[in-house]
Amino acid sequence: MKITINEIGGETEISPPSLAACFEFVSLWSSESDNAQLARLCAGAIGVCVDYLARLPKYRPVRHSATDYGYNCLDRLLEMGVTPSVIYEEGVKCLSYMAQKIPTKKEVDEKANFSSSANLDI
């Protein structure tokens, strides 16, 4: 999946962060109704999904909450001239992408069954 933000290089392939980061951002996103907090989550989602570009702050979950990190990314993106509408639009793409990466119960069960049957052959 790609996002387009001219100020960080135009069309950019996004890369999934850790499953824990995906879960944290998506969980906050699903319960957020405050537009300012949503802007932070969108900016943070962009940051973790394009971390390999090293254009936005690095996410360190031990030091920052997802919303604190999102604030830092939001500040940087706005300083770069990215408009709020682009941050929302491209951030939601990143959040949706991260939501798809979180395994469902069925996927976890299938993996557990595969792992269990593979160990029986040993």
Tens of pLDDT along the chain (122 residues) come to 999 999 999 999 999 889 999 999 999 998 878 899 999 999 999 999 999 999 999 999 999 999 999 999 999 999 999 999 999 999 999 999 999 999 887 756 666 555 545 555 55
At position 51, the amino acid (one-letter code) is D
Beta strands in the chain (DSSP E): 2-5, 10-13
Tell me the two tokens of residue 100: 């798809």
Between β-strands 2-5 and 10-13, what pairing exists: parallel, antiparallel or unpaired?
A: antiparallel
3-class state of residue 13 by DSSP: strand
pLDDT value at position 112? Answer: 59
Handedness of CA 100, 106, 109, 115 (dihedral sign): negative
Cβ contacts of 1 within 8 Å, gap of 6 or more: 13, 14, 93, 97
pLDDT value at position 80? Answer: 97
pLDDT value at position 51? Answer: 93
pLDDT value at position 122? Answer: 54
pLDDT value at position 94? Answer: 97
Angle at 79 between CA 70 and CA 88, to 5 degrees: 45
Range of the structural domain that residue 45 is part of? 2-120
Checking phi first, is residue 59 left (phi over 0); if not, alpha (psi -120 to 50) or beta?
beta
What's the number of domains the chain is made of?
1
